[in-house]
Amino acid sequence: MVLLAFPLPPPETPRPSAVAAPDRAAEPAGFAVGSPPADAWLRGGLARGALHEVVAAAGADAPAAAGFALGLAARAGGEGPILWIRDGRAAAEAGRVDGMGLLEFGAGPARVILVQPDRSDDALWAADAGARCPGLGAVLLETGGRPLGLTATRRLALGLRASGTTLILLRGGPPMPSAAMTRWRVASALSRALEANAPGHQAVSVTLVRHRAGIAERTWQMEWDRDRQRFAERAPLPGAVVPLPADGPDPARGMPADGFAARRVEGRSG
Amino acid sequence: MAVVRAVKGGQRLHAVDRAAQALGLAPGLPLADARARVPGLAVVPHDPAADEALLVRLAEDCDRATPMVALDPPDGLALDITGCAHLWGGEARLRARLMARIARLGVEARASVAGTPDAARALARFGGPAIVAPGEEAAAVRPLPIAALGPDDATRAALIRAGLKRVGDLSDRPTAPLTARFGTDLATRLRRVTGAEDARITPRRAVPDCAAEQAFADPIGRMEDVEASLALLLARVGHALERAGRGGRVFEAAFFRADGAVRRIRVGTGRPQRDPAVVGGLFRERLGALADPRDPGFGFDLIRLSVPVAEPLVPAQGLLDGGAAGTEAVADLLDRLTARFGRDRVLRFVPANTHDPVRASRTVPVLGTTPLSWPAPEPGEPPRRPLTVFAPPQPIEAMAEVPDGPPLRFRWRRVLHEIARAEGPERIAPEWWREAGPARDYYRVEDREGRRFWVFRVDPPDEAGPDAPRPAFPRWFLHGLFA
């Protein structure tokens, strides 16, 4: 495979303000996650035209991480198509993506294009081609195989910067050096039960592990709001202990009061 | 040597070689009789698949003479050389060159050229002049036996009983009594064989919209040469398409190897295309992804580029908005991905009209399909269907509090999940017109860590009485994972 034998690009740190490609000048340079406290912490949101990495906290949290990554891709992509690249390992691990599931998730199956190469090298090739395509909304690269190294992610980041497309890298496993703009660790979180103790809207516990602009680590409990295509802040569960990664910050301290979540809860019960 | 096959419970000779023929053996003879006559007979079982493969291979090789080649199973080929013969220096030289090629491959063949396919077929199979001048078919087929008409066995026996042994005996007579006795089929066959009526062959491949080819005096094998000549052909095809105001949706490169094998490589595009650089790029992706880069063997002596599917292509206008440029970039990207990974690996989702959750969504190749609109999910509700599903569903060990209730805990991939929330059951019955099977009771469950699963239970069938052998019912399966 000759793909990885490209010359090393000069190491550089793309800044959120500098990533807007010329042909996307009209669009905002970033996209908001949707949850006000998180967006405030991120100084307005995440950069477009950059690589964002989503890592599952544990093997069983892979579906939650996929949901968070897909939500980010949907938000970053606007109306543009989402190229979802899954290699053979990812498909074997989590099953095949279902169109009805995409619909119910709110990602719009009509705008998702699924690419299923067998090998992770081919998946990287497809991601590289997608990263250089200005017409795409977002690229979601899910690899279950060999993790991408620094060189591969740098190459992706350079392509993204030129095209203005956003790439969400979804992977499991241990931390690896990468040229990602941000890295997120995602764990499942207990949802707010509906009537008769039915599972509610999908909730995740996401931790911003690393940000190139030096924004500090922080954990939020979020809930995917399908109808408004955004991550909303999730209200604390009454009487429930929220499982958190051991090295995460204290949830009680990290949760500024916000009227939005409270309103949602009232609206739900009323 | 002889080839045998089992006919009606006995082994009979299916084909014999020249040596066996000289010893008096003929196809149709029981194997026991043949062995009695020739004790040292070498016998091979009949392999129709191999015969067909050889025939297809020969047909591929004959593609170089004319694009219209049809199989005439089990052991014949029909070539429509209308308008091709002059390129080869006449019908006689075309026939001689094809026969020489086939002989080099170690196959013995007979060939005839005639005005209609049926006449040529009868002459080639039953012996006749190699080339029949236009209008002479009726005279040429006169001495052939009745079997040359290809009638069924009963008709043939009846004709021979009536003393009609040759085609000429039939063609002298008025058709009406023949039709009255044997039906229109025989009369039609007779008209076709004598050249009074023409039926065109159905070629194996559709005749392409546009094609260009390059023959080499010395076979070429180096990758650079192949790519250079492909680029040349692409430029020629591109000019032809431009003059016609069309663009290709499918391009096919056929590499004719000197030893008769033919390799074909196809690339498809999402919109009509004729730019040699773009199509050449797609071919490079396709070739690069091949494990065996079209193995030149002794080299290719002919490369043909054809455009099986073309559509009108209006010259592009200057684009005013960036959006259309983005759409084109996406279309080009999908072409490249499809060229590299294949049509069935670059997919889009389309809804299917069914209640079966597994069939409600289908994936179809992106190329050649258009996106369909999906219904909107019900607002305010959590997802009812999982993001990913397992096919087939994975068995789990589950414990439920009550027989008809949701599971309390279950074990999947060796991990125990304690259920904290559950909703269900949602009963989904299989579509009886597709498959029989028990109904499934689906539950959406969430474990204490917040992982959400789609599980179902299969109850024992009602008719299973208490003394029936009890499989481990109810059985539980994990069907999908919610995000």
Question: In this structure, what CATH number is given to the domain that contains residue B308?
Answer: 3.30.1490.100
Helix or strand holding residue B150 (H, E): none
Whether residues A105 and B363 touch (CB distance < 8 A) is answered with no
C-alpha closest to that of A86 among B282, B387, B392, B451: B387
Element (H, E) at B93: helix B91-104
Q: Is the pLDDT of residue A12 over 60?
A: no
pLDDT above 60 for A253: no
Place of tokens 């890298």: A169
pTM: 0.67
Give the pLDDT score at B452. 92
Helical (H) or strand (E) element with B113: none
Q: In this structure, are B220 and B131 located in the same domain?
A: no
In the chain, the amino acid numbered B232 is: L
Where would I find the beta strands (DSSP E) of B368-431?
388-400, 407-412, 415-428
R_g of chain B, CA atoms, integer Å:
32
What pLDDT was estimated at residue A254?
A: 41
User: What is the pLDDT, as a whole number, of residue A207?
Assistant: 93
Statement: residue B47 has pLDDT above 50: yes
In this prediction, residue A167 has a pLDDT band, given cuts at 50, 70 and 90, of very high
CB contact B363 to A (< 8 Å): yes
- Assess whether pLDDT exceeds 80 at residue A240: no
Total beta-carbon pairs less than 8 A apart between chain A and chain B? 208
In what helix (H) or strand (E) does residue B161 lie, and over which residues does it extend? helix B153-161
Q: Does residue B203 sit in the same domain as residue B271?
A: no
Q: Is B320 in a helix, a strand, or coil?
A: coil
Average pLDDT over residues B93-119: 86
Distance CA A239, CA B56 (A): 74
CATH code of A213's domain: 3.40.50.300
Residues of A in contact with B449 (CB under 8 A): 60, 187-188, 190, 243
Residues of A in contact with B384 (CB under 8 A): 104
Nearest chain A Cα distance for residue B270, angstroms: 14
Chain B residue with Cα closest to A100:
B361
pLDDT for res A226: 87
CB-CB under 8 Å, A115 with B346: yes
- Residue B386 to residue A194, Cβ atoms within 8 A: no
pLDDT greater at residue B223 or residue B385: B385
CB contact under 8 A, B481 and A96: no
Contacts of B286 in chain A (CB under 8 A): none
Residue B376 inside a domain? The answer is no
- Indicate the residue among B191, B207, B223 that finishes a domain: B207
Tally of domains in chain B: 4
Q: Quick check: is A11 in a domain?
A: no
For residue B250, give how far its alpha carbon lies from the nearest alpha carbon of chain A (Å).
20
Last residue of a domain, which of B308, B339, B370?
B339
Residue A3 domain-assigned (yes or no): no
Helix (H, G, I), strand (E, B) or coil at B56: helix
Residue B70: inside a domain? no
Nearest to B254 by CA among B203, B200, B308, B202: B308
Give domain status of residue B69, yes or no. Answer: no
- Tokens 């063609």 belong to B171
Residues 18-77 of B with CB under 8 A from A: none
Are A190 and B322 in contact (CB < 8 Å)?
A: no
Cβ of B327 within 8 Å of Cβ of A135? The answer is yes
Distance CA B212, CA B234 (A): 8
Position A259 pLDDT exceeds 50: no
Domain span at residue B318?
A: 210-339
Confidence of residue B317 (pLDDT cuts 50, 70, 90): low
* Amino acid at position A177, single letter: P
B284 and B262 in a common domain: yes
Q: How far is CA B65 from CA B56, B80, B217, B462, in A?
A: 15, 9, 16, 67
Q: Which of A11-15, A80-84, A147-151, B284-288 has the highest mean pLDDT?
A: A80-84
The answer, yes or no, to whether residue A114 has pLDDT greater than 90, is: yes
Q: pLDDT by residue (tens digit) across B191-218? A: 888 888 888 788 777 777 788 888 888 8
Mean per-residue pLDDT, A90-119: 89
Tens digits of residue pLDDT in B133-156: 888 888 888 888 888 888 888 888
Least confident of A165-169, A180-184, B271-275: B271-275
Tell whether A95 lies on the interface with B, counting CB pairs under 8 A. yes
Element (H, E) at B238: helix B223-244
What is the chain B residue with the closest CA to A105?
B383
* Placement of tokens 């990664």 in the chain: A245
Place of tokens 């014949």: B76
Question: Of residues B293 and A14, which shows the higher confidence score?
Answer: B293
Supply the pLDDT for residue B289.
65
Q: What is the spatial distance between Cα A14 and Cα B373, in angstroms, rounded to a whole number? A: 38
User: B39 near B20, Cβ under 8 Å?
Assistant: no
Q: Would residue A16 count as lying in a domain?
A: no
Query: A270 pLDDT exceeds 60?
Result: no
Per cent of chain B over pLDDT 90 is 8
- The model's confidence at residue A70, banded by pLDDT at 50, 70 and 90, is very high
3-state DSSP call for residue B407? strand
CB-based contact B422 A198, cutoff 8 Å: yes
Pairing of strands B300-312, B246-257: antiparallel
Which residue do the tokens 């006559």 mark?
Answer: B37
Q: Chain B within 8 Å of A188 (Cβ-Cβ)?
A: yes
Q: How far is B244 from chain A (nearest CA, A)?
A: 30
Residue B113 has pLDDT above 60, yes or no: yes
By the CB < 8 Å criterion, does B378 face chain A? no
Residue A18 lies inside a defined structural domain of this protein: no
Residue type, B181: R
d(CA B454, CA B446): 9
* Cβ-defined contact of A197 to B421 (cutoff 8 Å): yes
Write out chain A in H/E/C secondary structure: CCCCCCCCCCCCCCCHHHCCCHHHCCCCCEECCCCHHHHHHCCCCEECCCEEEEEECCHHHHHHHHHHHHHHHHHHHCCCCEEEEECHHHHHHHCEECHHHHHHHCCCHHHEEEECCCCHHHHHHHHHHHHCCCCCCEEEEEECCCCCCHHHHHHHHHHHHHHCCEEEEEECCCCCCCCCCEEEEEEEECCCCCHHHCCCCCEEEEEEEEECCCCCCEEEEEEEECCCCEEEECCCCCCCCCCCCCCCCCCCCCCCCCHHHHHHHHHHHC
Domain that holds residue A239: 24-269
The verdict on a CB contact (< 8 Å) between A110 and B390 is: no
- Percent of chain B exceeding pLDDT 70 equals 93
Q: Residue B343 carries which DSSP code?
A: G
Q: What is the mean pLDDT of chain B?
A: 83
Which residue in A76, A29, A84, A164 sits closest to B322, CA to CA? Answer: A164
What average pLDDT score do residues B211-235 get? Answer: 85
B336 to chain A, minimum CA–CA distance in Å?
A: 9
A66 in a domain, yes or no?
Answer: yes
* Both structure tokens of A168: 């969400």
Among residues B173, B207, B241, the one where a domain terminates is B207
Rounded (10°) CA dihedral A241, A247, A252, A255: -110
Nearest CB to B336 within list A101, A129, A135? A129
Q: Which long-range contacts (CB under 8 A, 24 or more apart) does B68-72 make?
A: B68/B201, B68/B203, B68/B207, B69/B203, B69/B204, B69/B205, B70/B201, B70/B202, B70/B203, B70/B204, B71/B204, B72/B121
Is B388 in Cβ contact with A94 (below 8 Å)? Answer: yes
Q: Which of B319, B332, B333 to mutate to test the interface with A (most CBs of A within 10 A)?
A: B333
Residue B431 has pLDDT above 80, yes or no: no
Verify that B250 and B295 share a domain, yes or no: yes
Q: Looking at the structure, do residues B231 and B254 belong to the same domain, yes or no?
A: yes
Is B383 close to A101, i.e. CB distance below 8 A? yes
Q: Does A66 touch chain B (CB under 8 A)?
A: yes
**Residues B25, B127 within the same domain:** no
3-class SS of residue B327: helix
Asked if A63's CB is within 8 angstroms of B387's CB, the reply is yes
CB contact under 8 Å between A63 and B483, yes or no, is: yes
Specify the pLDDT at position B11: 85
- pLDDT tens per residue across span B9-37: 788 888 888 888 888 888 888 888 888 88
> Is the pLDDT higher at B260 or at B349?
B349
Q: What is the mean pLDDT of residues A100-116?
A: 90
Can you say how many angstroms the Cα of residue B370 is from the centroid of all Cα atoms in its chain?
Answer: 24
Put simply, whether B287 touches A (Cβ < 8 Å) is no
pLDDT score at B471: 56
Q: How far apart are CA A115 and CA A131, in angstroms?
A: 14
Place of tokens 């087929």: B141
Nearest of A137, A155, A178, A233 to residue A55 by alpha carbon: A178
Contacts of A227 in chain B (CB under 8 A): 379-380
**DSSP class of residue B145?**
B
Residue B219, φ and ψ in degrees, nearest 5: -60, 140
Same domain, B139 and B167: yes
Residue B249, pLDDT > 90, answer: no
Q: What DSSP designation does B351 have? A: E
Task: Please check whether residue B144 lies inside any domain of the structure.
Answer: yes
Cα-based angle B307, B311, B312 (whole degrees, multiple of 5): 130
Instruction: For residue B65, tell me if it sits in a domain.
Output: no
> Is the model's pLDDT at A26 over the cut of 60?
no
- Is B324's pLDDT higher than 50? yes
CA distance linking residue B336 with residue B313, whole number of Å: 20
Looking at the domain assignment, is residue B378 inside a domain? no
Count the domains in chain A.
Answer: 1
Strands lying side by side in the sheet with B262-273: B210-220, B300-312, B246-257, B262-273
- How many angstroms separate the CA atoms of B255 and B258, rounded? 10
Percent of chain A with pLDDT over 70: 76
The rounded mean pLDDT for chain A is 78
State the nearest Cα–Cα gap between A6 and chain B, in angstroms.
17
Q: B217 and B197, same structural domain?
A: no
List of chain B residues whose C-beta atoms are within 8 Å of the C-beta of residue A61: 451
Q: What is the pLDDT of residues A198-218, one digit of tens each?
A: 898 889 999 999 998 888 999
pLDDT confidence bin for B466, thresholds 50/70/90: low
The verdict on residue B306 lying in a domain is: yes
Burial of A245: CB neighbours in 10 Å, binned 0-12, 13-18, 19+: middle
* Cβ neighbours for B378, distance < 8 A, ≥ 6 positions apart: none
- Judging contacts by C-beta atoms under 8 Å, the chain A residues touching residue B332 are 133
DSSP type of residue B427? E
Query: What pLDDT sits at residue A21?
Result: 39
pLDDT tens digits for range B351-396: 888 777 778 888 888 887 788 888 888 888 888 889 999 988 899 9
B355 touches chain A (CB under 8 A): no
Same domain, yes or no: B465 and B395:
yes
pLDDT, one tens digit per residue, over B416-428 is 999 999 998 888 8
For B337, name the nearest residue in chain A, comparing CA atoms only. A126
Closest-CA distance, B114 to chain A, in angstroms, reads 51
**Residue with structure tokens 């070539």?**
B79
Closest CA to B450 of A67, A33, A258, A37: A67
CA distance B154 to B152: 6
Window A:216-245, CB contacts with B under 8 Å: 224, 226-227, 243
Residues A81, B330: C-beta atoms closer than 8 Å: yes
In a domain, B356, yes or no: no
- Closest residue of chain B to A195, computed from CA coordinates: B423
Q: Do the domain assignments include residue A10? A: no
Residue type, B48: P
Q: Given pLDDT bands bounded at 50, 70 and 90, which one contains residue B318?
A: very low
With H, G, I as helix, E, B as strand and everything else as coil, classify residue B393.
strand
